[in-house]
Structure 1
Amino acid sequence: MLFPLLTPGFVADRPDVPAFVTVGDESFSQADIVGAATSASERLGGLSRVAVEAVPSMQTVVAVVAALLAGVTVVPVAPDSGDAERRHVLDDSGAQAWLGATPTDPCDRPHLPVRLYARSWHRHPQPPADTVAMIMYTSGTTGAPKGVVSTHGSLAAGIDALADAWAWTADDTLVHGLPLFHVHGLILGLLGPLRVGSRLHHTVRPRPEAYAAAAQGEHPGTMYFGVPTVWSRIVAEPEHARSLSGARLLISGSAPLPPTVFDAVAELTEHEPVERYGMTETLITLSARADGPRRAGWVGSPVAGVRTRLRDESGDELPHDGDAVGELLVQGPMLGAGYLNRPEATAASWLPDGWFATGDAALIEPGGMHRIVGRLSTDLIKSGGYRVGAGEVEASLLEHPTVAEVAVVGPADDDLGQRIVAYVVVRPDAATDAAAAEGLIEHVATALSVHKRPREVHFVDELPRNAMGKVVKKALLETSD
């Protein structure tokens, strides 16, 4: 057995600290959360899996803790999920009931409300480390969403590794407004503070003014979470960005942070952002450290307990020389236990020797710093006999003063195999004519090498993104065909 996710004494140190968790305008102490969650957990007898419509509310906080205390598996469901996706998640997971907020569509499941002001102090036996804690569903970009099985032990290991990397302690106050149905907002952003014992201020939505207000409160934020879109919006309002200068760490994840945004955050807040890398299947395996270097476009080194390696298409190991690009494999105690009901998909990613095949292309420097080039399926472009990382071309284009956002894809090409195509959002008043496109192509050819230049540049008003701010490159590839 490893260590329990929520220890029996996780309220023992400061049970009556007010505003231990704040969601919007509602605050609960540690004792409030445990008392309400324990009361709710007593109604879960006979259930093994419950769905939680993860609206940003205290009900969601209490519902998640209640299920974990009782050893019942939590199935987080996005509040805005469509009818087909919702039914797939419920049917595939085997969720027997809803717990917490009233669901938008119960899909024939009973609803168990959470009584926020009920209290019980009964102690449940701690679930063993191999007990399934969460079934979280992937975004479904390559088919129906797959349920990732995570245990109490794997979640605890993941949080503890980040507490080490970020020097995260009970003295911190974490501020974010991220959704509570993904790893970033739910595991790191809710279970993290509960396990570490730090305060949590969830702003409901990650607006710049809300983050700035949290910096001025009675318990100012010391750590802030955001996806790149959040940080981009914050630096667009310099007065709000400067208010975060009193924080200890500004952390970005879920998608690559553009170098221009990295630099703007550093200039306005005097903090270089901490970038990290992970997946629903693995939690966070790479991160810059609180006491280590941070570089735009690089996601740091392995966190405690993690090993990494690169392999080529033949399965042979590649050197960590900062140049070789291959598929990133990771190994560590925070990895999930597989995909629910998907033995073939599980076998394809969870390898027999304990490694997980991420499907991401990366390079690793001799000192251990990692750079993610992108998905092998869309971001490793084989053009004219060369292997080109879309991320490297994107980073180069983002260095051009006219470029605000960019996505690079590699549609099929009869001559080259794949051709490099860039979709560019320019800054206000920048030119979008043929000469501007040629200027961007020449910029990459000069900064990198000629074979890495885009063969086409398309100017667009915006890039297609999912709920977490990730660019949906599949949609761009369909446009390019």
Structure 2
Amino acid sequence: MLFPLLSAPVPTADDGPAVTVDGVTLRRSDLLGASTAVAERLLGLGVRGPVAVWATPSAATVVAIVGALRAGVPIVPVPPDSGTGEVAHLLGDSGAQAWLGASPDAAGLPTVPVRLHARGWHHIPEPGADAVAMIMYTSGTTGAPKGVPVTHRAIAACLDGLADAWGWTDADTLVHGLPLFHVHGLVLGVLGAVRVGSPLVHTGRPTPAAYAAAGGTLYFGVPTVWSRIAADPGAAAALRGARLLVSGSAPLPVPVFERIRELTGHEIVERYGMTETLITVSTRADGERRPGWVGFPLDGVETRLVGDDGAAVRRDGESIGSLQLRGPMVASGYLRRPEATAEAWGADGWFTTGDVAVIDAGGMHRIVGRASTDLIKTGGFRVGAGEIETALLAHDAVREAAVVGLPDDDLGQRVVAFVVVESDGARVDSSTLIEFVGRTLSKHKRPREIRFVVDLPRNAMGKVQKKLLLD
């Protein structure tokens, strides 16, 4: 049962705020009644296949998604900034039968309306645990986005594992302003709150001022959000009363971790996941929080590192290997992509993440990055881009840094850093930064070249698009 708190009528004493999105509040009875009305309408119309949701940050989006999931109708979250070609791909590939709620013009599918004030009170049978809850799409960095069918069982396992790791209960108030079409903002940030019973305050946009004003106990953010809060001491100070701050979707720079600790008294919890696996590894609220490390496997998750030859890599905190994992929240394959599925999933259920990582003797994980862009093989050495980026960010003149390996006839790959400087740091030069990195890292890890840029290309979740830098 994905939403046990919505399976029965709401006692008056428990009818507190359930979801607030950009100033619109739904009490628990509102969410129960409106989502039931959505489920009744879908079932009454005979809609059983996937429905697309134009996933704007709105109360209507939350009602649409919760209602469809309760009806057992898979949802396809569509980013509201998608172009026409992207929308066509998601609709065609998923086989979406209709739009649920608002839709873009000329989308070509019928629309099932969602009304915040509609109320349905019939009992809705709970879908089976192995029923597909949603079809989420990868970011498409290596081709057209691939659909990942995610089951009710997988979502429940992920959220229960995180609730245990973070001590997340209905006594918390969750605050975030993340998009509602990714794992972070949708699965954790909406479905997690509804499952646990913690009120959700979605700020519309994740600005420092909005986070400071929300008065929550549990905050979710991507590194870009935490970086902006770290640059706003007043907003950061307002988070001192929180219980837990969580970062994900991209690596959190160590200087940001340290600055947030200085301003708020909190050490940010980091976690690791992806569309195909949901969240599988996390730092615990009651354990060590080591900057740059993402913690331990959630309940039921197994992880391993393998080398290029398929042999096991030592868990010594230094040796880099390809990260593979399996667990109850990991999907079983891509939608209608048997070749891609066979490439990523082994017959024994191990999923090859495409990330490289290190694991220490105690089992704590550090993600080095994507094997395709963050593992640099230079002069016979294997170097992680993140380590060099952290070293660069420690320089006062550096605001952002992204390190890649570019082809080199002599070295195989040479280390190249793309750097954004602070407004008052324009006078820093390449040799100064290269020498600065050389003070803390080995000689072979120093950048061979520094390229100064105005900004770094990022996606909607704040991840640097290194493929664009390589191109």
TM-score band w.r.t. shorter chain: over 0.9
After superposition, the C-alpha distances for 1:247-280 in whole angstroms (9 at most, x for unaligned) are: 0001111111111111111111110111111001
Please tell me the residue identity of whatever aligns with 2:256. V
Residue 452 of structure 2: aligned partner: 459
Equivalent residues in 2 for 1:301-312 (5 A)?
301-312=296-307
Cα pair distance change 1:275/1:14, threshold 3 Å: farther
For 2:423, the equivalent position in structure 1 comes to 428
- 2:465 counterpart of 1:472: yes
Q: How many residues align?
A: 467
1:196 pairs with 2:196: yes
Conserved in 2, the CA contact under 8 Å of 1:161 and 1:304?
Answer: yes
Post-superposition offset of 1:12: 5.8
Q: Which residue of 1 aligns with 2:159?
A: 159
Alignment of 1:309-458 (within 5 A): 309-432=304-427, 436-458=429-451
Report the counterpart of residue 17 of structure 2 in structure 1.
Answer: 19
Please say which of residues 271-280 and 345-354 is displaced more in the overlay. Answer: 345-354
**What SS is found at the alignment partner of 2:239?**
helix
What is aligned with 2:265? 270
Cα RMSD of the aligned pairs, angstroms, is 1.3
The 1-side partners of 2:155 and 2:332 are apart by 11
Q: Separation in 2 of the partners of 1:461 and 1:298? A: 29
Secondary structure of 1:317's partner?
Answer: coil
**One-letter amino acid of the counterpart of residue 446, structure 1:** R
- The corresponding residue for 1:218 is none
- 1:258 corresponds in structure 2 to 253
Structure-2 residue corresponding to 1:75: 76
Aligned to 1:230: 225
SS of aligned partner of 1:347:
helix
Asked whether the 8 Å contact 1:135–1:150 carries over to 2, the reply is yes
- What aligned pairs does 1:49-128 form with structure 2 within 5 A after superposition? 49-100=50-101, 102-128=102-128
TM-score (structure 2 length as normaliser) = 0.97
CA distance in 1, matches of 2:449, 2:427: 13
Measure the CA separation in 2 of the matches of 1:399 and 1:332: 37
User: CA contact under 8 A between 1:10 and 1:197: conserved in structure 2?
Assistant: no
AA matched with 2:4? T
Q: CA deviation at 1:414?
A: 1.0
The change in CA–CA distance for 1:301 and 1:14 in structure 2 (over 3 A counts) is: farther
Query: What is the one-letter code of the residue matched to 2:37?
Result: S
- AA at the equivalent of 1:98: W
Secondary structure at 2:373's aligned position in 1? helix
Verify the 8 A CA contact 1:98 1:106 in the aligned structure 2: no
Contact 2:132 2:149 in 1 (8 A): yes
Report the Cα distance in structure 1 between the residues aligned to 2:152 and 2:392, rounded to whole angstroms: 42
- Quote the residue 2:292 is aligned against: 297
SS state at 1:244 partner: coil
Residue 174 (structure 1) aligned with residue 174 (structure 2): yes
In 1: Cα distance, 2:396 partner to 2:155 partner: 42
> Structure 1's 129 and 257: CA in aligned 2 closer, same or farther, altered over 3 A?
same
Looking at structure 2, the residues matched to 8 and 267 of structure 1 have their Cα atoms a distance apart, in angstroms, of 38
Aligned counterparts of 2:224 and 2:53: Cα–Cα separation in 1: 26
Query: Residue 413 and residue 352 in structure 1: after superposition, are their counterparts in 2 closer, same or farther (change >3 A)?
Result: same
Amino acid at match of 1:175: V
* Alpha-carbon distance, 1:17 to partner: 2.4
TM-aligned CA distance change 1:8 to 1:401, over 3 Å? closer
Q: Choose 355-364 or 444-453, whichever is displaced more.
A: 444-453
Q: Distance in 1 between the 2:452 and 2:293 partners?
A: 27
Tell me, what secondary structure is at the counterpart of 1:230?
helix
SS in 1 for 2:439: helix
8 Å CA contact retained: 2:5, 2:195: no
Q: From the superposition, tell whether residues 7 and 131 of structure 1 become closer, same or farther in structure 2 (CA, over 3 Å).
A: same
Could you tell me how far apart the structure 1 residues matched to 2:441 and 2:10 are?
54
Aligned to 1:161, what secondary structure does the other structure show? helix
Match of 2:38 among 37, 40, 48: 40
User: Which stretch shifts more, 224-233 or 12-21?
Assistant: 12-21
| Residue identity (%) | 62
Give the distance between the partners of 1:200 and 1:327, measured in 2 at CA: 36
Q: Deviation of residue 38 (structure 1)?
A: 0.8
Using the TM superposition, give the Cα deviation of residue 13 of structure 1 relative to its aligned residue in structure 2, in angstroms.
6.9
Q: Which runs of 5+ in 2 are unaligned?
A: none
User: Which amino acid counterpart does residue 149 of structure 1 have in structure 2?
Assistant: P
CA separation in 2, counterparts of 1:314 and 1:12?
Answer: 57
Task: Give the C-alpha shift of residue 8 in structure 1.
Answer: 6.8
Give the alignment's TM-score, normalised by structure 1. 0.95
SS in 2 for 1:409: strand
8 Å CA contact 1:137, 1:146 repeated in 2: yes
SS at structure 2 position matched to 1:204: coil
Which ranges in structure 1 are unaligned for 5 or more consecutive residues? 216-220
Distance 1:122 1:25 in 2: 29
Cα distance in 2 between the residues matched to 1:326 and 1:368 = 14
Provide, for residues 118-173 of structure 1, a one-character-per-residue CA deviation record: whole Å limited to 9, x for no partner.
Answer: 11111111111100001011111110011111000000000000000000001000
Q: How far apart are the structure 1 equivalents of 2:4 and 2:129?
A: 11
Once the 2 structures are TM-superposed, how far is the Cα of residue 428 of structure 1 from its aligned partner? 2.5
2: CA distance, partners of 1:308 / 1:234: 33
Give 1:6 deviation, angstroms: 2.0
Q: How far apart, CA to CA, are the structure 2 residues paired with 1:11 and 1:177?
A: 29
Quick one: structure 1 residues 209 and 8, their matched pair in 2 at CA, closer, same or farther if it must change by over 3 Å? closer
1:7 equivalenced with 2:8 (yes/no)? no
In 2 relative to 1, CA 169–414 (structure 1 residues): closer, same or farther, beyond 3 Å?
A: same
CA contact (8 A) 2:255 2:390 kept: no
- Once residues 439 and 314 of structure 1 are traced to their aligned partners in structure 2, the CA distance between those partners, rounded to angstroms, is 39
Shift of residue 403, structure 1, vs aligned partner? 1.6
Q: Distance in 1 between matches of 2:52 and 2:231?
A: 37
